[in-house]
Structure 1
């Protein structure tokens, strides 16, 4: 580990952040954080207990009224200062993400830029929360519709985008006037902790943001979700866990936002510009080493262009540099852990056994870290597990179709509906696909759709609610209607 890496890690707090103070866990327990590129321990940090979680909620509840009453401009200015501090410390944030998650440094820098935009976007939205006023149809009264903060929120964030997922939830909540308890992922908690240090420096008052990392997620989360003082739950992660959290939230009829699993179709028609399609495919599949809910999972390619598309993709993928994300030119870092490697390999071997052709990759890399070769499979047959399950790894699986109707059927044949990608030069067909594909988002001739100014979220079992865009702040507001009689 370099001197810079050692110095950076030394500057990250090891405690829990409750009511404006960095404190140890009640039990004194800690857990280790590992670099997946080496499997070395890079930090030992406080391991929160359920009692710590409730102390954090106590702090959020106590701070709620004052934060809700804080002038929107003040909330806006704090978020803007946080954005500025992120820009000042962007290299530190990027390196920290690479160390604990493994993604190449260039991609980590991209996440800092993306995640920071939520701070800037919602700093601007904080001063634009509006209602409406009008006379009722009967002419007997004035209707006043206003927006109020939902109240204390509990956030559970995933390991794959540790900065962006924290800012995407915290920024709109603070803009709306809500206080927060956040449980960062045990695999990648350091980025959220470091970001919280920047929020503290930006002037976020004590109790408004509280951070309780733990190695026992469900034990900590359950009593917080069950507490009648909580008003909102937001979770990003697997559909399986999301279902359980929704069931828990139902007891208190909590507002919920759920960004869950994906099985994104990437459809390439016979009239597609293959240069665009290949470039889009590389971004949609291999961003974050394939560990993204928005990653293209099923490449549905017209039979007439499949061979050429596969040839170009295989050429690009076989040339990708594998290594520790801090090394120059690395495009594929480690997967998050050995379980992720085993899952990716299991899906590849199942597809090959069923008749798929392996054109490059397909091997576990033995040695330090949890690495899997970037892989391309062609002629993947219906029934293969890789077409049903979220891959979460650097594996590109190609199936073919003949007609537009068949492409639509194949794309929609999943319980998920987060994002889809379509490549065609026919504008009318593009519009038909917008209407036909059952996803909350779609990229038309582009491989990356995420933007802080756009609503992010899915349909079917990919979740409920939206993050980002004009819609994002309304997840943290409740609507109140008042009737004033006309005397």
Structure 2
């Protein structure tokens, strides 16, 4: 464990703990609250309003009225973009406080939040602000005596359900394109990490986003989330989370108003390392792929396939590299890995480590909790992993790497695709032909070559198979918040006139 470096930072006052509905912070109708805890210690940070169906009904009513009768969908894209730019500036102004809140709530590294996640959130808002006045339809030359054109219009009231592993990044990956499109919305943040979502709601109001356009309901998936997904006046749902919950969301949509659903779900991503790779570079990429954000990332490269020609060298060197890996307080700048988000996730990861031992995998390193308090787990590597083992099949969502050996390209392509998921994959090779062949053969939504977790707001992100459908990021993300309308008029002189 690392020394505690948090004393140099002033912990902020928790300002916002109520629901945000129609431009105001309000208590839940039931008066219930729930606790959000510091994963470093397990201690309570704050009590937050627990929204349920009645609160969702109020938020949807506010969003519906703001869409049907309000100014936001009727503003020009340029006008929406100017307000969004102001919101981005406000995020920058409160960068340190937001970064602290994110670390307190989720266990994410403070310095990553400050230099990556919070600025990244602000820049996502700017990206889509710039796109708001560039949403255009098409003019078509029809085969008959008609003129046709399409209009792209906001889809309406959107429900966003966001995960706990990247609370700020995912908040604006969904909210920013929906705002640019002219939608109104209700955001249901994860119950583990509600604090920054409520803070962003306040900044949105300060920036000038009209009341009812952005509402935040904190609470639990089985109540608030379920009510949002089944609501007849919600026009679309965008969800990032587990495949199991994604199924429930699709069922709720089908049973209600058949609202379109966009799902970014789980992953069990392969990282393939060929024998021409620089082993030291490959180790750095492999560690980034699985241990970044303490393994709590959907695209985690948890299945690492290493060519038999360099397998032994890889094992030796990665074991040495992990000796310098520091697990500890996320406010300490020397730390590489903070605590898991909560006790439930902490215990789930430890269960999977035990499954790996039980099924006959060899524990190379790690595998234990560390520290007396909080939810810290050592970075863990298993060797001698077989494809049918639970640690190789299931998404663990923690710092657990499964190492496997391969001999041929054909073999590793087959093994890499032998999963229900298809979110991401990594390839490490200096051979362009291998890179091209394998990247075209892997069934996944994003492929990284000689790098990993290299996200860019301009590049669409989403999955194949049971990793979901629909895309976040890039201009592609706008499409799920737009309806396409075709308008046809007869040409003068046609038999219709």
With the shorter chain as reference, the TM-score category is: over 0.9
Is the aligned partner of 1:118 residue 2:124?
A: yes
- Provide the residue aligned with 1:384 in structure 2: 389
Contact 1:119 1:171 in 2 (8 A): yes
Is the aligned partner of 1:221 residue 2:228?
A: no
SS of the residue corresponding to residue 233 of structure 1 reads strand
Is the aligned partner of 1:47 residue 2:50?
A: yes
Whole-angstrom distance in 1 between the partners of 2:346 and 2:229:
32
Is the aligned partner of 1:250 residue 2:285?
A: no
Is the aligned partner of 1:259 residue 2:264?
A: yes
Give the drift of 1:324.
1.4
Whole-angstrom distance in 1 between the partners of 2:63 and 2:360:
55
- Provide the residue aligned with 1:349 in structure 2: 354
Which whole-Å deviations, capped at 9, do the CAs of 1:252-298 have from their partners, x for residues lacking one? 11111100000000000111222332221122111111000011110
Unaligned runs of 5+ in 1: none
Give the drift of 1:141.
1.0
- Provide the residue aligned with 1:473 in structure 2: 478
Whole-angstrom distance in 1 between the partners of 2:445 and 2:111:
28
What's the TM-score, normalizing by structure 1? Answer: 0.96
What's the TM-score, normalizing by structure 2? Answer: 0.94
Which whole-Å deviations, capped at 9, do the CAs of 1:204-241 have from their partners, x for residues lacking one? 11000001101x32222333333322100111100001
Contact 2:387 2:393 in 1 (8 A): no
Q: CA RMSD in A?
A: 1.5
Is the aligned partner of 1:237 residue 2:219?
A: no
Contact 2:186 2:216 in 1 (8 A): yes
Is the aligned partner of 1:200 residue 2:205?
A: yes
- Provide the residue aligned with 2:29 in structure 1: 26
Whole-angstrom distance in 2 between the partners of 1:425 and 1:397:
23
Give the drift of 1:364.
1.8
Give the drift of 1:448.
1.4
Which stretch has the larger CA shift, 227-236 or 306-315? 306-315
Which stretch has the larger CA shift, 56-65 or 101-110? 101-110
Unaligned runs of 5+ in 2: 1-5, 493-497
Give the drift of 1:49.
2.5
Contact 1:176 1:476 in 2 (8 A): yes
Is the aligned partner of 1:36 residue 2:42?
A: no
Matches within 5 A, 1:40-439: 40-65=43-68, 66=70, 67-109=72-114, 110-138=116-144, 140-214=145-219, 216-251=220-255, 252-365=257-370, 367-439=372-444
Give the drift of 1:31.
1.3
SS of the residue corresponding to residue 167 of structure 2 reads coil
Whole-angstrom distance in 1 between the partners of 2:333 and 2:124:
28
- Provide the residue aligned with 1:13 in structure 2: 16
